[in-house]
Amino acid sequence: MTIAHEGVTDADADAAGGAGPAEGSEAPTEVLPAAAVTPAPAAGPAPSQAPGPAAVRAPARPVGERRRSLSLLRATDVYALLGAAAAALSLTGLLFTRLLPFSGGVGFTVIAYALFIGVYALLVSLDEDGPAVRDRVAAVVIQSLGLVMLTALVFVIAFTLWEGRKALPHLNFFTEDMAQAGPLDPLSRGGVLHAILGTLEQIAVALAITVPAGMTCAVFLNEVPGRFARFVRTVVEAMTALPSIVAGLFIYATVILALGFDRSGLAASLALAVMMLPIIIRAADVVLRLVPGTLREASYALGTSRWRTVWHVVLPTARSGLTTSVILGTARGIGETSPVLLTAGFTAEINTDPLEGPQVSLPLATFEFVKSPEPAMIARGFGTAAVLMAVVLLLFIAARVIGGRGPGQLTRRQEHRRVLASRRDAERFASRSR
């Protein structure tokens, strides 16, 4: 049966390759409606299309579909926060001025914050269920506490810099000591160079003692578990809350009184080491626990010993965390005043020998300067505190640069040594093949 389309003849069908009817025979034809037939394109040159990915188009988005917002902050949350804050301030002002005999900024802040949390929970409960309300309230409390801590930190730094603004612009403040300057001398004379050198020497000696001892103890607690390890861990956790004055009294009684040593930078370094050691051990212990056990198992499967596994696998993997533990210990020791006051003494001159003679540090110099009633000495005290913050920041940056590489990352010198070793191996293999 031959299907005859509109405008298409049998000759055209034969030319297209279709089999025509035999001669002398007629086949019934069926004509389809024009709507069911796709019209053939008009003869002529086809329109040119640009080749490449432009010819392939992505499917268009259906009309009326709304894009889903991936933002965690919604407009209702902002309205609830603003409404709760306005309501809390209004209610607190009404209580303090009209209803109750309250006064004071601290009480106003505490009551306003409590009312803010209550009103915010009430507003959120209008749209959310119980778990969502508790989650939103907890998030607001945590974020507000973080904002308070950040505000306090900014206030302390800004207040210190503002009070020390008179001493910091003078160059002699960083290049001279107080040997030739007194309380009544202007800020153009004297400085804190002796305190800067004393702080750097004391913290360097303390780190030379605490870093090897702390890392060794942390490795012992993780690699050699047992009853004794649990006992040591308990003692370390108890020593983290040791008051600084107790550490200073311990070194004063044992090193200065019992052994007969004079007050010196070494005695101050020992007192700082007593304060820093439990912090470093505890933080390094937590970091080493996070190293996956599969790395140790893979190292042991290759036939390496426990010592080589610790040195080449465990410690490099936890390098960044161990650097953080050292930073925490340094921050604890570099700002201590009472241990240094009992063990190092005070001097207005530069003393670079930590084994003999008094040696002052930046916290101790700040303590001595701000006790004076003279405005110049108070300005020197706040300037010394600003220098202490700058020294701590520089030490933190140096520690991050040294130990901030991730596991498996090599320094440029180590990569150069690897390249030279690879070249030597290639030459040796080539000589063997010849």
pLDDT in tens, 36-62: 444 444 444 444 444 444 444 555 555
List pLDDT tens digits, range 235-272: 888 888 888 888 889 999 998 988 888 888 899 999 99
Residue that the structure tokens 């390094």 belong to: 284
Confidence of residue 407 (pLDDT cuts 50, 70, 90): low
Q: Among 1-10, 73-82, 93-102, whose mean pLDDT is lowest?
A: 1-10
Mean pLDDT throughout 225-235?
A: 86
| Pair 351, 322: CB distance under 8 Å | no
Per-residue b or e along 371-409, where b marks 16 or more CB atoms closer than 10 Å to that residue's CB: eeeeebbbbbbbbbbbbbeebbeebeeeeeeebeeeeee
Mean confidence (pLDDT) of the chain: 80
Q: Is 57 left (phi over 0), alpha (psi -120 to 50) or beta?
A: beta
Lowest mean pLDDT among 224-228, 375-379, 402-406: 402-406
Which pLDDT score is estimated for 211? 92
Q: For residues 394 and 385, what is the distance between their CA atoms, to the nearest angstrom?
A: 14
Q: pLDDT tens-digit profile of 345-361?
A: 888 888 888 888 888 88
- Top mean-pLDDT range of 95-104, 105-114, 194-203: 194-203
Give the residue among 2, 9, 10 at the shortest CA–CA distance from 27.
2
Mean pLDDT of 166-188: 86
Write down the pTM of the prediction.
Answer: 0.68
Share of the chain above pLDDT 90, in %: 17
Q: Between residues 247 and 104, which one has the greater pLDDT?
A: 247
Q: Residues 77-93: pLDDT tens digits? A: 788 888 888 988 898 88
Res. 69 pLDDT band, cuts 50 70 90: low
Find the mean pLDDT for residues 115-142: 87
**Contact (CB, 8 A) for 336 and 363:** yes
- How far apart CA 210 and CA 236 sit, in angstroms, is 13
**Contact status, residue 248 vs residue 343, Cβ threshold 8 Å:** yes
Q: How far is CA 337 from the centre of its chain?
A: 27
- Report the alpha-carbon distance of residue 353 to residue 171 in Å, rounded: 25
Structure tokens at 380: 């020197």
Higher-pLDDT residue of 72 and 275 is 275
Rounded (10°) CA dihedral 333, 334, 335, 338: 60
